[in-house]
């Protein structure tokens, strides 16, 4: 029996007896000194990294694995035994020809040297492009429309009958019966082509947009340097880095990391975060999300060969219609049913008229005065064509097309305005947003952090670049002070040691790194803006952070990444000192309020004021609030006091020093500075080892046992009954009696792993496991810290933010700031932005989350700033606002912002600072992270809604008038033919459905759209003013055409036609036939020009008289207008055969133009009719705004709480009706008059209408708005009024 050597936790191997060769349990990768040392335990016996050469399996001799072999690692399930067979990460990397530290090698232009070979062997990280739909596809789709099918069939019948008649006609000049059928067929082809080409262009636009929205960059290692790599450029063999918030872009195998956990719920359905690492799950699955920790992995699967790629290939579906499209489809269906009813009515009436007239004139037969069979068939086909044409005109196919065009145009233009739309419906919804919960950093500010001031050891101050550059000369001369056990004073570090310690923390306790900007080619720092600012501060102070990172003096032992819950980041470092034994040092940085809770001591140095700060203090000496509790900086404290010790000392952090630090922090906050506390704690090697191998290990073991017990408790026999489980991975379980896949002896025939059977929990847990546990962070960084420095970081406002906030307020959109900054900084920035105003509420998240529902209902309407908030606070705020009836937009950038972004009606993620989780949860990505882009989204959202309404207003007026004119003229005509022929109707239909949609959907939005309140969620598509214009214009068009039809012969001097009885008379001589044709041409021409001018009139859906405002900024409108006019002129003058038109003289043309132009003055008259006139006759004209919906919702909630008394409810309902928001001046602040029963209320400036209304309605809220009626439970330290 051979000896088995088991290495546990990297300690000296323990000897065991077994039948298998030597194996090792590997130590933590985080503690491994090199690749060879840290990975060799994973290889087979007598095998090292240097001699491991996988057998080439893909035939090209370059790589050790094929694409299929690597894909089999995770598909259909994670195959641990296969991974063990491949040699784990070292074997994979060796087979792929890549080094962990160097990554893939690149040539000039940052192109991987063997890129083409890897692409050929493993493919690209792109899914196969969906084959674009061709023009033929869209033509077939357009032809599948029922109306087009009917027209095609009837036109073919008409053409066949016409050809039959022409064949039997002896006179060549009379062989024209085929023309009508052919004309209809040609018109159908033109309509189908126009619709198909438009759909094709729209599809191309969305494909381009989708390609942009899916692209992103990840961190990777190439040529030994950390770089940003596009996900489309990831290759098999790449070494990628993982951080919290990353969405994994390709499959791979874990190499090294610290505390790495992934949420694979979206990929595998596993609800709990899965820990990754040696001894745990080593598979990194694409599509999953990093929830905590950091790590690196080697890519093994890309594109359709990856786990997520396989899923996406199976889930490819067409985009769903937006809510507006669905609503318009329903409206179009109802209109189509109404139009079809008219068409059927016309068909029946014309058929009866034709039969009755024919029977009275000789009947059917082959006699001289009788209708032959072919003539009867031709006439019936003509009647059928007219009826179908009415359906074609009545059915508003252009409505869905209009919203599609508007969305396509808006999303394309929004991309230029730095809004990348991921969810189309967000365009529509954003236009009616009532409130925005905005982040501060990067959204309202520039996200370009710079350290501008700070304190070292509490008493040494600096401010400005000049003093920062002199910081080393200022701090370095400080000598250690003296200890005093009675006062609990300890000897502090000298100036150089203090500087080195603080800058060591800045350099090592950071995830920022150097990268190359692709656009400029310059090297710059990449990472958190705060960390970048701290590194730049170190450089300005004369320290080389790269030298600190690369030096042998300090070695990173464990990193605890930044957490939004902890609002801090920590790093454990082992430091080798020249004049003493090595020590372990814990560096912590974060929000002062959070970090200082874990501090019990502080470094104090001699007093050294900042000259710049003294000048600044003098300039604001009149500000009593800022100077109330502070000693003037120019006043030197007594030597030997805590504010001016003789040397550097470490002193207990008592209440007085805490108060002094609070004063410093508030002073920074009043300057709108973000404050960062830099603290540390030191352990001797003996203390560290005793802690790690003693109490801390025991706590971790106990915690692990508790976790395992909880898991076992969940896997009860009852839960497992009837389940067929897959076997455990072969490398963890015994495969044959007496042995295991690890080559270790098992306990008889039991399949329990050797690890569980023979190695205790204490032996399994490595030092890295102990250090990586949350308990270690609490033990090392949760108490006993020393405050070293506090710095103030400035992030100036973005250009145009105050104006953008004011624009939102003018638009009736209430802006709130939700930030993680301290309350003073948040209030200062909010004041500068215009978000905070007198009478508003500023609150801390810690207090906000403790409020009950009643208190939230009181405070949220007035809440303007939520500071020190957690992602959960934001989620609570969003849910409550939606409950109150608000349409909520939210901005977010962090992983934990995902739930709030998903919950909001519109989620905005940050394109620059946002994590991939936030981007996936959002509806729109702000490519520049700027709040001004949110305002542009509101503008475009309202533009989309307006574009659809403009087209709706235009088309319905055409629908009504065309149907009625066709119906009336066909009934009175002696030949049962409409004044407007089938082909002419199809041309009008083309104008309505395609050209007008293009013209009205491409209007460029103006700031005028922001000068009105948002519409309510229940607001109708067609407002009263639109109905007034639709019915008014339809009345005008019907009247004009009927006058031309019946009075035209006399007006235009058609004596012969008038004498024959007009259009209702018998067709006699050729002159009568010609005049009849000219009159119908005039009617057709006038009708088209009525539509052309109505297109201009439809540009306004409000009561504004000037319909030409902004028309010069819309070139597509001019182009389409010109195309329609030119086409109409050609049709009239040269389309006699197809369109059955006749040449018109100048007078007749002038008459047509005058008739068409009547639309504009008539529209002006309709707009001048006051709404009060209609209100007086009982017609409701007021459009319900979003604010009224909010008020009504709040009223409903209050009623549900009150319950009970019916009379009281009725009284409240009556009061609610009196307090409706009907005056837009309410949005700007001011007074509102009410009945004598209710006193006037002064509305705070910039107050949201819903807030004021709710304050008026309900006693609780009204009491809250009074300065003397504040709830007594409110802690004054958590809010500002």
Dump pLDDT digits (tens) for 321-339. 556 666 666 776 777 778 7
Top-ranked range on mean pLDDT: pick from 459-468, 890-899, 1182-1191? 459-468
Distance of CA 1067 to the CA centre of its chain: 67
Q: What is the tens place of the pLDDT at every residue in 1087-1117?
A: 999 999 999 999 988 888 888 888 888 888 8
Q: What is the rounded CA–CA span in Å between residue 1092 and residue 542?
A: 72
Lookup: tokens for 1186: 């979003």
Query: Which pLDDT score, from 0 to 100, does residue 677 have?
Result: 94
pLDDT at 1007 over 80: yes
Mean pLDDT for 855-871 is: 89
Lookup: tokens for 1277: 């330290």
Do 571 and 507 meet the contact criterion of CB atoms below 8 Å apart? no
Mean pLDDT for 15-20 is: 34
pLDDT at 954 over 50: yes
Q: What is the rounded CA–CA span in Å between residue 1191 and residue 1092?
A: 42
Among residues 582, 442, 236, which one has the least CA distance to residue 931? 442
* Listed range (45-54, 102-111, 943-952, 985-994) with the worst mean pLDDT: 45-54
Lookup: tokens for 1134: 């040269």
**Count of other CB atoms within 10 angstroms of residue 1239:** 6
Lookup: tokens for 525: 């720092």
Q: Which residues contact 273 (CB under 8 A, 6 or more apart)?
A: 261, 262, 263, 291, 292
> Which phi and psi (to 5°) does residue 661 adopt?
-65, -40
Do 17 and 23 meet the contact criterion of CB atoms below 8 Å apart? no
Q: Which has the higher per-residue pLDDT, 334 or 1056?
A: 1056
Query: Which pLDDT score, from 0 to 100, does residue 5 have?
Result: 32
Q: What is the rounded CA–CA span in Å between residue 695 and residue 596?
A: 25
Mean pLDDT for 918-932 is: 83
Mean pLDDT for 80-95 is: 90
* Listed range (459-473, 521-535, 936-950) with the worst mean pLDDT: 521-535
Please identify every residue annotated as catalytic.
Answer: 439
Query: Which pLDDT score, from 0 to 100, does residue 541 have?
Result: 92
* Listed range (133-137, 585-589, 972-976) with the worst mean pLDDT: 972-976
Question: How large is the greatest C-alpha to C-alpha distance in the chain, in angstroms?
Answer: 135
Query: Which pLDDT score, from 0 to 100, does residue 588 have?
Result: 95
- What's the Rg (C-alpha) of the chain? 39
Q: What is the rounded CA–CA span in Å between residue 407 and residue 203?
A: 12
**pTM (2 d.p.):** 0.60
Query: Which pLDDT score, from 0 to 100, does residue 45 have?
Result: 37
Q: What is the tens place of the pLDDT at every residue in 1238-1277?
A: 333 344 444 444 444 444 443 333 333 333 233 333 333 3
pLDDT at 254 over 90: yes
Strand 863-867, strand 841-844: pairing: parallel
The DSSP call for residue 1003 is P
Query: Which pLDDT score, from 0 to 100, does residue 422 have?
Result: 78
> Which phi and psi (to 5°) does residue 1133 adopt?
-85, -30
Among residues 1117, 1134, 1127, which one has the least CA distance to residue 986? 1127
Q: Which has the higher per-residue pLDDT, 1179 or 664?
A: 664
Q: Which residues contact 1281 (CB under 8 A, 6 or more apart)?
A: 839, 840, 841, 1267, 1270
* Listed range (364-368, 683-687, 759-763, 878-882) with the worst mean pLDDT: 759-763
Mean pLDDT for 352-370 is: 79
Average pLDDT over all residues of the chain: 76
The DSSP call for residue 1182 is P
Q: What is the tens place of the pLDDT at every residue in 762-796?
A: 556 778 888 888 889 989 998 999 999 999 998 88
Mean pLDDT for 940-964 is: 87
* Listed range (17-21, 127-131, 814-818, 1112-1116) with the worst mean pLDDT: 17-21
pLDDT at 1023 over 50: yes
Question: Can you name the residues that pair with 844 across neighbouring β-strands?
Answer: 867
Do 537 and 529 meet the contact criterion of CB atoms below 8 Å apart? no
* Listed range (174-183, 193-202, 222-231, 1215-1224) with the worst mean pLDDT: 1215-1224
Query: Which pLDDT score, from 0 to 100, does residue 895 have?
Result: 64
pLDDT at 825 over 60: yes
Q: What is the tens place of the pLDDT at every residue in 736-750?
A: 333 333 333 333 334
Lookup: tokens for 312: 């996406």
């Amino acid at each position: 029996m051979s000896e088995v050597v088991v290495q546990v936790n990297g300690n000296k191997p323990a000897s065991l007896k077994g039948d298998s060769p030597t194996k090792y349990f590997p130590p933590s990768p985080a503690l491994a000194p090199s690749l060879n040392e840290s990975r060799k335990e994973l290889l087979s016996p007598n095998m090292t990294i240097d001699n491991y050469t996988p057998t080439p399996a893909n035939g090209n001799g370059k790589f050790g694995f094929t694409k299929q072999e690597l894909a089999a690692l995770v598909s259909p399930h994670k195959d641990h035994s296969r991974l063990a067979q491949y040699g784990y990460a070292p074997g994979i990397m060796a087979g792929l020809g890549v080094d962990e530290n160097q990554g893939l090698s690149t040539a000039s232009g940052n192109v991987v040297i063997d890129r083409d070979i890897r692409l050929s062997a493993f493919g690209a990280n792109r899914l196969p492009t969906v084959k674009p739909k061709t023009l033929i596809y869209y033509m077939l789709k357009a032809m599948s429309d029922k109306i087009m099918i009917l027209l095609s069939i009837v036109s073919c019948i008409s053409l066949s009958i016409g050809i039959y008649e022409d064949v039997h006609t002896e006179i060549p000049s009379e062989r024209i019966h085929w023309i009508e059928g052919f004309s209809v067929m040609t018109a159908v082809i033109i309509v189908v082509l126009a619709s198909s080409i438009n759909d094709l262009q729209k599809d191309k636009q969305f494909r381009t947009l989708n390609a942009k929205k899916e692209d992103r960059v990840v961190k990777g290692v190439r040529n030994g340097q950390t770089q940003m790599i596009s996900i489309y450029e990831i290759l098999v063999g790449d070494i990628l880095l993982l951080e919290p918030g990353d969405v994994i872009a390709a499959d791979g195998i874990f190499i090294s990391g610290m505390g790495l956990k992934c949420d694979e719920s979206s990929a595998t359905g596993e609800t709990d975060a899965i820990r990754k690492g040696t001894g745990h799950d080593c598979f990194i699955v694409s599509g999953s999300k990093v929830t905590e920790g950091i790590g690196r992995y080697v890519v093994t699967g890309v594109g359709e060969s990856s786990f997520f790629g396989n899923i996406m290939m199976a889930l490819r579906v067409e985009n769903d219609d937006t809510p507006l499209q669905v609503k318009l489809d329903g409206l179009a269906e109802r209109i189509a049913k109404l139009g079809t009813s008219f068409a059927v009515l016309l068909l029946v009436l014309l058929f009866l008229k034709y039969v009755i007239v024919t029977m009275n004139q000789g009947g059917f037969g082959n006699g001289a005065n009788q209708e032959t069979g072919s003539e009867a068939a031709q006439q019936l086909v003509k009647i059928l064509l007219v009826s179908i044409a009415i359906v074609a005109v009545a059915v508003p196919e252009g409505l869905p097309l209009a919203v599609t065009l508007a969305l396509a145009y808006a999303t394309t233009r929004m991309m230029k305005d730095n809004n990348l739309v991921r969810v189309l419906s967000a365009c529509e919804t954003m236009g009616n947003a009532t409130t925005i919960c905005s982040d501060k950093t990067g959204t309202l500010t520039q996200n370009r952090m710079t350290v501008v001031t700070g304190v070292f050891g509490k008493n040494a101050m600096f401010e400005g670049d000049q003093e920062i550059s002199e910081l080393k000369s200022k701090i370095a001369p400080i000598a250690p002070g003296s200890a005093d056990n009675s006062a609990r004073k300890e000897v502090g570090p000298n100036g150089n040691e203090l500087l080195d310690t603080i800058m060591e923390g800045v350099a090592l306790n950071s995830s920022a790194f150097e990268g190359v900007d692709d656009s400029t080619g310059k090297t710059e720092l990449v990472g958190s803006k705060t960390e970048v600012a701290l590194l730049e501060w170190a450089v300005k102070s004369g320290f080389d952070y790269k030298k600190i990172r690369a030096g042998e003096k300090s070695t990173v032992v464990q990193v605890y990444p930044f957490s939004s819950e902890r609002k801090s980041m920590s790093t454990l470092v082992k430091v080798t000192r020249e004049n003493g034994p090595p020590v372990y040092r814990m560096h912590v940085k974060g929000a002062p309020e959070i970090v200082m809770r874990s501090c019990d001591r502080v470094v104090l140095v001699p007093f050294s004021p900042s000259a710049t700060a003294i000048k600044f203090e003098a300039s604001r000496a009149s500000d009593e609030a800022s100077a109330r509790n502070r000693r003037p900086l120019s006043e030197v404290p007594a030597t030997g006091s805590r504010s001016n010790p003789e040397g550097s000392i470490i002193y207990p952090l008592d209440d007085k020093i805490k108060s002094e630090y609070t004063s410093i922090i508030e002073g920074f906050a009043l300057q709108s500075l973000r404050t960062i506390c830099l603290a540390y704690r030191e352990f001797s090697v003996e203390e560290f080892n005793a802690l790690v191998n003693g109490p801390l290990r025991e706590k971790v073991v106990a915690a692990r046992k508790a976790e395992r017990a909880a898991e076992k408790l969940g896997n009860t026999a009852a839960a497992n009954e009837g389940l067929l489980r897959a076997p455990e991975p072969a490398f963890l379980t015994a495969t044959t009696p007496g042995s295991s896949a690890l080559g270790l002896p098992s306990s008889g025939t039991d399949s329990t792993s050797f690890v569980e059977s023979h190695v205790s929990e204490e032996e399994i847990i490595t030092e890295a496991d102990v250090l990586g546990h949350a308990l270690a962070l609490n033990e090392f960084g949760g108490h006993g810290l020393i405050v070293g420095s506090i710095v103030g970081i400035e992030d100036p406002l973005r250009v145009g933010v105050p104006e953008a906030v004011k624009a939102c307020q003018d638009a009736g959109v209430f802006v709130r700031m939700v930030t993680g900054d301290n309350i003073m900084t948040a209030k200062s920035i909010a004041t500068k932005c215009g978000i905070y105003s007198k009478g508003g509420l500023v609150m801390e998240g810690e207090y906000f989350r403790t409020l009950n529902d009643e208190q939230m209902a009181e405070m949220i309407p007035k809440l303007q700033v939520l500071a020190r908030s957690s992602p959960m606070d934001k989620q609570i705020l969003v849910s409550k606002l939606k409950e109150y009836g608000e349409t909520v937009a939210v901005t977010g950038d962090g992983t934990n912002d995902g739930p709030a972004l998903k919950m909001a009606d519109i989620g905005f993620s940050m394109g620059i600072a946002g994590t991939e989780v936030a981007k996936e949860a959002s509806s729109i990505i702000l490519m520049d992270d700027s709040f001004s882009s949110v305002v542009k989204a509101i503008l475009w959202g309202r533009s989309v809604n307006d574009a659809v309404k403009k087209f709706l207003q235009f088309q319905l007026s055409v629908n009504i008038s065309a149907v009625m004119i066709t119906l009336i003229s066909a009934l009175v005509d002696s030949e049962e033919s409409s004044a407007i022929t089938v082909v002419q109707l199809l041309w009008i239909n083309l104008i309505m459905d395609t050209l007008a949609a293009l013209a009205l959907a491409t209007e460029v939005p103006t700031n005028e759209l922001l000068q009105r309140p948002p519409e309510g969620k229940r607001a109708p598509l067609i407002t009263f003013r639109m109905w007034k214009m639709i019915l008014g214009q339809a009345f005008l068009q019907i009247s004009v055409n009927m006058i031309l039809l019946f009075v035209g012969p006399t007006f235009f001097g058609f004596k012969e036609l008038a004498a024959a009885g007009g259009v209702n008379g018998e067709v006699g001589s050729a002159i009568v036939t010609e005049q009849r044709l000219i009159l119908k041409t005039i009617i057709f021409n006038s009708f088209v020009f009525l539509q052309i001018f109505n297109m201009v009139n439809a540009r306004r859906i409000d009561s504004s008289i000037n319909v030409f405002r902004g028309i010069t900024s819309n070139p597509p409108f001019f182009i389409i207008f010109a195309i329609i006019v030119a086409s109409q002129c050609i049709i009239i003058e040269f389309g006699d055969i197809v369109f059955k038109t006749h040449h018109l003289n100048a007078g007749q043309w002038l008459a047509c133009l005058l008739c068409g132009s009547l639309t504009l003055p008539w529209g002006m008259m309709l707009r001048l009719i006051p709404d009060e006139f209609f209100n007086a006759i009982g017609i409701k004209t007021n459009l319900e705004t979003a604010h009224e919906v909010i008020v009504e919702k709040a009223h409903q909630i209050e009623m549900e709480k009150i319950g009970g008394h019916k009379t009281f409810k009725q009284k409240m309902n009556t009061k609610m009706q009196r307090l409706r928001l009907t005056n837009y001046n309410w949005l700007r602040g001011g007074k509102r008059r009410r009945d004598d029963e209710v006193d006037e209320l002064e509305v705070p400036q910039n107050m949201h209408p819903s807030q004021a209304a709710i304050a008026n309605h309900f006693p609780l809220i009204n009491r809250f708005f009074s300065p003397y009626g504040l709830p007594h439970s409110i802690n004054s330290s958590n809010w500002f009024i």
